[in-house]
Structures are given as C-alpha cells and as structure tokens.
Amino acid sequence: MLRWTAALLAVAYPLALGLVILALRFVGERWWITLAVLYLPRLGFAIPLPFVLAAAWRWAPRWLLALQAVSLYLLLVPLMGFTFAFGAPAAPGGARVRIVTYNIGKAGNRLPDAIAQIQRFAPDIVAVQSVYPGDEPALKAAFTGWHLHAEGQFLTASRFAIREISIPPPLQYAAGTGGARYVRVTLETPVGLVDVFNVHTTSPREGLDALREGGVARSLLSGRMFDPTTTQFVVYNAFRRERQIAGVAEAARASRNAVVIAGDTNVPGLSRIFGEHLSSFQDSFERAGRGFGYTFPAAHPWMRIDRVLINDRLRPLSVRVGPTIAAEHLCVCAEVGANR
C-alpha cells in the first residue's frame, strides 16, 4: 500500500501542477476561482513537494523520484515565473534608452524615497502611475529641464523631445463608460521615434475584496463567496481590465514606431488576458531579467504585474527591479536598444 501510494503521489503531483498551469493560462479570468488563484502566492503549490519527495525516496522506484525534477521546473518557471535570461547583446556603440516605470500609489511621505529610487537608475524615460494631485509638484521638480506630460494619474517624463500626445477616448460599457487607463506619448529618441504607452489598468483588488469580505473563512462558510452576485462582480472587474488591455494592445500594434508599454498592467504571470492580448510583445524581464522579478506587494512581493513590454523594433538589454520600498509597488528599470 505504501509503495502504491508513494508512486501515485509521485505521478499525480506533476500532473496536478500541469493542470493548474493550463487552467490559469486558458481559463484564467473567465472563472472566478481560477481568477482568484492567479493572484495568490504561487509558493503555496510547493507545499506538497517535500512530502512527495520523502515518500518517493522511501518507497517508490528511483525514476519516480527523478520525475520530481519536472515538478520543480513546473513550480519555478511556469507557475512562479523564474527566469535567468541574459538579454540581447548591445551593438558596439549602439544607441540605448533606459526606461523606469513606477506605480507610486500610497507613497505618501515616502515620495522623496520613490523619486530618489527613480533617479538612482539614471533613466531617460520615466512612466509614473497613481500620481495624486499633491504629488505632481515634487515629481515635476525632480525632472526639471525634462519634457513632461501629466494627465490624470499618469506622468511621463523624458530627456527626449515629445513629438505627439494621444489621450484615448473612454471605453463604452453596458452600464456606462470607463477610462481607457493609458496615455500615449511619442518621443524622439536615439533609437528613433518611440511610442510610450503609460498604462495602469483597473485593479483586481475590488473584485478580490468582494470575495473575502468579512474574512475568507466567514465568506466561505456563509456561502457569500459562491453567491452569483459576488462572483459576477469579480468576473466583471476582470472584464473591464481585459477591455483596457485589449485597447492598449490594439493601439500599440497599430503603431509604425518602436513601442514601449510600461506600467502597472495588473495581470500576473499565466494570465489569460495577458496571453491573448499582449503576448505578441516582448516582455523585457522574460528576455533580459534574472530571478522572479516580483513587484507587488512591495514589502513581500509575490507577483510581477509591473512590466516594460516592447515591440520587435526594440530589443531588451537588461532589466532590474528596484529594491526600495517607497510605495505599494516596486519600480522596474529596463534598458533597450534598437533592433536593427
């Protein structure tokens, strides 16, 4: 019985991980359960691994123990997003541009620390989201002499001249209108004209908060977590986010220039929304980053939702996540060059 049980666990565990990966990627935000799992710490899926290893070592054939190398890969790479890329080699003497994106929401009195973090990266282009009206004077003072554009919660700062600014119209919904949640700024840079899309989509927080209102245990036991009104609200929250992602992706694909999509996408790894709308763009961290690259929540991050995406006119050279905790998110710095 022990041998059969150990063998069953050794086979079932990697299969279960594979099914979870497929469900998150291809069902994802369409179903409230897989949507909620997308935003949970993926490290939880590693809890069975020590027990599976111990059972396989003691009672199962050795090849089933070796099978857990597959489990470890599925955990670290597809589920948790680990990467160890080196980026494209820079052309000798080639032009390069350094981009920083930062959601500074709730920075409050730590705003000077957030600004200092940005400045330490010595960027050429800065895309800031969740800018409160009181934050603007300090941000503008930090980039004196730069070319600036502020629109609502977005601030885009550039060492290079601004050629054009585009503000998308509101999105139409059955129940009214909603913001497109991005702005486009066209810049004259050393790598040519670059369309920078400063993005911050609708947060999943309001939907997830509805699921766990009053505490997860109470919501589960009372049945409110399964109430159609609650689950429909969660899915509608994701629907709005998908509309926004689809809008920025469509505008970016229509561009004839180099494209940078920078900001808080609010979609984590394996997101179906990301896969269906943004997978045609290069994720700079996946191509040139190392580690997990988690950006939220800043104090103990477990998901990567702040991104710098580029089209095929550019290539990623290096990517770093800022270490300073000055807001709810960590910032991302990506260096890109022309793809000639």
In a domain, 257, yes or no: yes
pLDDT at 91: 61
**Distant-in-sequence, close-in-space partners of 288: CB < 8 Å, separation ≥ 6:** 85, 86, 87, 88, 316, 317, 318, 319, 334
Number of Cβ within 10 Å of residue 312's Cβ equals 11
Residue 172 within any structural domain of the chain: yes
For residues 131 and 161, state if they share a domain. Answer: yes
Distance set, CA 254 to CA 13, 240, 282, 339 (Å): 43, 21, 16, 18
Q: How far apart are CA 87 and CA 69, in angstroms?
A: 26
Question: Is 99 found in the same domain as 212?
Answer: yes
Do 96 and 46 share a domain, yes or no?
no
49-73 pLDDT tens trace? 999 999 988 888 888 888 999 999 9
Q: Note whether residue 85 is domain-resident.
A: no
| Shared domain check, 176 and 37 | no
Q: What is the pLDDT of residue 229?
A: 83
Instruction: List, run by run, the mean pLDDT of 10-residue segments along the chain (340 residues).
Output: 88 96 96 94 95 89 90 96 78 83 94 96 97 93 96 96 96 88 97 97 89 72 74 92 97 97 97 97 95 95 97 95 95 92
Amino acid 225 reads: M
If asked whether residues 64 and 167 sit together in one domain, one would say: no
- The answer to whether residues 109 and 53 belong to one domain is no
Residue 129, phi then psi, degrees to nearest 5: -120, 165
CATH number of the domain at 285, please: 3.60.10.10
Q: Are residues 15 and 95 in the same domain?
A: no
165 and 29, same structural domain?
no
Into how many domains does the chain fold?
2
What residues make up the domain containing 35? 2-80
53, 80, 107 — which closes off a domain? 80
pTM for the model: 0.93
Return the number of other C-beta atoms located less than 10 Å from residue 180's C-beta: 18
Does residue 228 sit in helix, strand or coil? helix
Beta strands in the chain (DSSP E): 83-84, 96-103, 125-129, 147-151, 154-158, 162-166, 171-173, 176-178, 182-189, 192-200, 258-264, 282-283, 290-291, 306-310, 314-321, 332-338
Phi, psi of 191 (to 5 degrees): -100, 15
**CA distances for 14 relative to 19, 54, 183, 248, 324, angstroms:** 9, 15, 42, 36, 36
Instruction: Give a yes or no: residue 290 inside a domain.
Output: yes
* Cα gap 26→271, rounded to integer Å: 8
User: Would 294 be classed as within a structural domain?
Assistant: yes
Based on the domain organization, do 166 and 30 belong to the same domain?
A: no
Token pair 């010595």: residue: 122
| Domain-terminating residue out of 60, 80, 100 | 80
**Do residue 27 and residue 111 come from a single domain?**
no
Final residue of a domain: which of 80, 98, 133? 80
Please indicate, yes or no, if residue 146 is contained in any of the structural domains: yes
The rounded distance, in Å, linking the Cα atoms of 53 and 293 is 28
Is the same domain home to 182 and 41? no
SS3 readout for the chain: CHHHHHHHHHHHHHHHHHHHHHHHHHCHHHCHHHHHHHCCCHHHHHCCHHHHHHHHHHHCCHHHHHCHHHHHHHHHHHHCCCEECCCCCCCCCCCEEEEEEEECCCCHHHHHHHHHHHHHCCCCEEEEECCCHHHHHHHHHHCCCCEEEEECCEEEEECCCEEEEECCCCEEECCEEECCCEEEEEEEECCEEEEEEEEECCCCHHHHHHHCCCCHHHHHHHCHHHCHHHHHHHHHHHHHHHHHHHHHHHHHHHCCCEEEEEEECCCCCCCHHHHHHCCCCEEHHHHHCEECCCCECCCCCCECCEEEEECCCEEEEEEEECCCCCCCCCCEEEEEEECC
Residue 179 lies in a domain: yes
Using DSSP, state whether 151 is helix, strand or coil.
strand
In a domain, 114, yes or no: yes
> Which residue's structure tokens are 């002499």?
145
278 and 314 belong to one structural domain: yes
User: In angstroms, rounded to a whole number, what is the distance separating the alpha carbons of residues 198 and 100?
Assistant: 11
Q: Over the stretch 142-179, which tens digit does the pLDDT of each residue have?
A: 999 999 999 999 999 999 999 999 999 999 988 788 99
